[in-house]
Amino acid sequence: MKKQALVGAGFALALLFSPLQQTFAAQSTGDTKKVDNVAHRGASGYAPENTIAAFDKAVHMKADYIEIDVQQSKDGELVVIHDTKVDRTTEGTGYVKDLTLEQLRSLDAGSWKGEEFTGQKIPTFDEILDRYHGKIGILIELKAPELYPGIEEVVARELKERHLDKPQNEKIIIQSFNFESMKKTNTLLPKVPIGVLTSSKVHTTSEALQEFSTYADYFNPSYGIVTKELVNEVHEAGMKISSWTVRSQETANFLLSMNVDAIITDYPDYVDKRN
C-alpha cells in the first residue's frame, strides 16, 4: 500500500467517529465535490507558458495549482521550460542541457506569445518555489529526467532546503512520464505525493494500476483515454486521477463529467467559471 494510503487509513478510522465526518462526507459526494484546477505551464492560454507572467496569471485566476516542467542547465541549475530545446519558446537554439544558466537566462521567453510579454525569462526552479509556495499549489513535472542523471536528488535537495519535503497540505506534487524516475523520487521524498503521466492505454490495466499504486498517489492520463471505468479503477487502486490537457470548453466539460480529481488546463476559467 502506498504511503498516503497508509496515513489515510488511520485518518479515516479517526474520522469515522468524529463530528467532522458528516462535513467530509458532504464534500466528497454529488455536486459539492471540488475538482482541483491546475494551470498547465501556468495560465498558458493567456500568457507565455512556464514564465512568471503565466504563473502570476494563474494565481490571479485563483487556480489551485500551477504545473511546471523542470529540466537542468549545462552547469547543473534547475530551470522551468517544457521542450528539451529552447527553439520554440525563445529566440535561442539548442538543447537546454547544452546551455549554461547564464545563457538560458539571457533568452527572451515571452515575445513569441505577444510583444507585451517581451523580457519574460526562463525561470529557475528555486525562483518558482520561493515565489509561489504557500500562494498556490505546485505540480512539478520532471521533464525527460533520463537526460539529466541525478536530477531527482537535486530536486529533493531544493525541496528539503525549504522544508517542502513534508507538505502538510499536499500542495506539492511531483510527476513524470518516466516511471523509474518517480520510483526513485518516492524513495528520496517519501512524504511528497507522486504522479505518473501517460497517454497510453497499455498503462490502464488493473495490473499496471496496482504496480503504480505501490509508489504513486496520482495516475495522470491524457483525456483521450479517460473513461468512468478508468476513474473508478484508479480510485479503487487507492490513487487520485488528474487529466490533461484542456484547451477547449468541451474537453473541460467532458473531464468534469468523468469525476476526475484534478483537471490540468491552459485555461483555468474553462474548469471554474469564477476563474
The residues annotated with a catalytic role in the active site are 40, 82
Sole binder of ligand G3P in the list 219, 244, 267, 270 (CB under 6 A): 244
- Cα 157–Cα 263–Cα 181 angle in degrees, nearest 5: 35
Taking residues 143 to 182 in sequence order and writing x for each that binds ligand G3P by CB under 6 A, - otherwise, the string is ----------------------------------------
Q: Which does 264 bind (CB under 5 to 8 A by kind): Ca ion, ligand G3P, none?
A: ligand G3P
Please report whether residue 141 would count as binding ligand G3P according to CB under 6 A: yes
How is the chain split among helix, strand and coil, in percent rounded to 5? 40, 20, 40
Rounded Cα distance, 162 and 242, in Å: 26
Q: Least distance to ligand G3P from the beta carbon of 69, Å?
A: 6
Give the angle 119-123-125 at the CA atoms, nearest 5°. Answer: 170
112 grid coordinates: 513569441
Cell numbers placing 26: 458532504
* Interface stretch with Ca ion, choices 13-21, 136-144, 183-191, 221-229 (CB under 5 A): 136-144
Per CB under 6 A, does 272 bind ligand G3P? no
Which of 106, 111, 198, 245 touches ligand G3P (CB under 6 A)? 245
Beta-strand relationship, 137-142 and 172-176:
parallel
For 234, the grid coordinates are 484508479
52 touching ligand G3P, by CB under 6 A: no
Residue nearest to ligand G3P (CB): 244
User: According to the binding rule CB under 6 A, does residue 84 interact with ligand G3P?
Assistant: no
Q: Does 43 bind ligand G3P (CB under 6 A)?
A: no
Q: Does residue 198 touch ligand G3P according to CB under 6 A?
A: no
Q: Which is nearer to ligand G3P, 71 or 124 (CB)?
A: 71
Q: Which residues contact 50 (CB under 8 A, 6 or more apart)?
A: 41, 42, 44, 68, 69, 80, 81, 82, 89, 109, 122, 123
CA dihedral 136, 225, 30, 236 (to 10 degrees): -90
Nearer to Ca ion, 113 or 238 (CB): 113
Residues contributing to the site for Ca ion (CB under 5 A): 69, 141
**Residues near ligand G3P, by CB under 6 A:** 40, 67, 69, 82, 141, 197, 244-245, 264
